[in-house]
Amino acid sequence: MSNSDNQPDWAAIAEKFDLWLPQIAPVGEALLEGLAARPGDRIIDLGSGTGEPALTLARCMQGQVDITGVDAAGPMVDVAQRKVKDEGLSGIRFMHMPAEQLDFADNSFDRAMSRFGVMLFNDPLQGLKETHRVLKPGGHFSIAVWSTPETMPTLLWSYQAFSKRIAEDAAPPLHKVTSLGRPGVLDEMLAEAGFREVDIVPHTFHYQFDSFDAYWDIVEASDILKQQYDALPKDQHAAIREEIAVLANVHMSDNGLVIPHEFLLATGVK
């Protein structure tokens, strides 16, 4: 999926995205706690990527819930669906579908979730309106979005380092990724989509790496900044790594590189 807001090309990096899953696992735990799925629930996961946190839920509640993940990038869906097959999981499937146009009847699901999907949708409000439409009256949602730029150091560092060297319209997607993080923005959008009893709580968790090199090796191996590297003259690649290593150094400790990040966990009811 190419796009005009500099997101990673999710389709192109689908096979590499799992390199990040250990880092964002705590977000999935909080999200599933907020979801409070019950046996018998029909559940939708929006922007389900390579399958998390839907797969974790399916493993925990094997056979007791019915989960459908949807994602706009076909290769992401393929990776998730391969895990279902390899693990022989039942009651879970992934489908290629944009969140803004869900191919489900009104009132189809008891629960809806999304980890780090909603702010990346082309039209987040339309995605939330669709989520509202397919939830049953009284159905719950649990959604995690990134918070503000200052609380997302890794992307902020990349933005600072690249935006000095390449055009703003090619810079890392700091604005899109944190577009729902400012106080009031997500609340207003969820209300406009029709949700009630909305509760939004900031949570801090930590990226943890043995060293800066261990962190940056994953950045490079996952191609998460491929568009930005492609826009950068080759002779400046090393300078980016060195500059970000200096910024990251404030988070080096005896435990390695431990970087706090904040996300907003939103829960509520249709």
Phi/psi of residue 117, nearest 5 degrees: -110, -45
d(CA 139, CA 220): 40
Pairing mode, strands 66-71 and 92-96: parallel
Query: Looking at beta carbons, which residue is closest to ligand SAM?
Result: 49
User: Residue 72 or residue 112: which is nearer to ligand SAM going by CB?
Assistant: 72
User: Residue 1 or residue 185: which is nearer to ligand SAM going by CB?
Assistant: 1
- The correct pick among 66, 71, 110, 223 for binding ligand SAM (CB under 6 A) is 71
Rounded to 5°, the CA angle 66-68-73 comes to 165
Determine, following the binding rule CB under 6 A, whether residue 189 of this chain makes contact with ligand SAM: no
- The correct pick among 34, 47, 173, 181 for binding ligand SAM (CB under 6 A) is 47
Determine, following the binding rule CB under 6 A, whether residue 176 of this chain makes contact with ligand SAM: no
d(CA 238, CA 110): 49
d(CA 182, CA 97): 28
- The correct pick among 35, 58, 73, 259 for binding ligand SAM (CB under 6 A) is 73
Residues linked to residue 264 through DSSP beta bridges, in sequence order: 145, 202
Determine, following the binding rule CB under 6 A, whether residue 72 of this chain makes contact with ligand SAM: yes
User: Residue 243 or residue 261: which is nearer to ligand SAM going by CB?
Assistant: 261
**Token couple for 109:** 């699901």
Residues linked to residue 121 through DSSP beta bridges, in sequence order: none
88-127: contacts with ligand SAM (CB under 6 A): 98-100, 115-117, 120-122
User: Residue 117 or residue 243: which is nearer to ligand SAM going by CB?
Assistant: 117
Determine, following the binding rule CB under 6 A, whether residue 48 of this chain makes contact with ligand SAM: yes
User: Residue 95 or residue 239: which is nearer to ligand SAM going by CB?
Assistant: 95
- Smallest gap from Cβ 17 to ligand SAM, in A, equals 7
CA distances from 149 to 69, 146, 152, 154, 262 (A): 28, 9, 5, 9, 9
Of 41-49, 81-89, 128-136, 155-163, the window that binds ligand SAM (rule: CB under 6 A) is: 41-49
Q: Per-residue x/- mask for ligand SAM, residues 50 to 69, rule CB under 6 A?
A: --x-----------------
- Smallest gap from Cβ 247 to ligand SAM, in A, equals 22
Please report which helix (H) or strand (E) contains residue 111, including its range: strand 109-115
Q: Is 109 helix (H, G, I), strand (E, B) or coil?
A: strand
Q: For residue 49, give every residue at least 6 positions away whose Cβ sits within 8 Å of its Cβ, in sequence order, or none.
A: 10, 17, 71, 73, 76, 80, 117
Of 32-40, 45-53, 150-158, 185-193, the window that binds ligand SAM (rule: CB under 6 A) is: 45-53
Q: Is 53 helix (H, G, I), strand (E, B) or coil?
A: coil
Q: For residue 222, give every residue at least 6 positions away whose Cβ sits within 8 Å of its Cβ, in sequence order, or none.
A: 13, 16, 17, 19, 20
- Smallest gap from Cβ 249 to ligand SAM, in A, equals 26
Contact positions vs ligand SAM (CB under 6 A): 1, 10, 24, 47-49, 52, 71-73, 76, 98-100, 115-117, 120-122
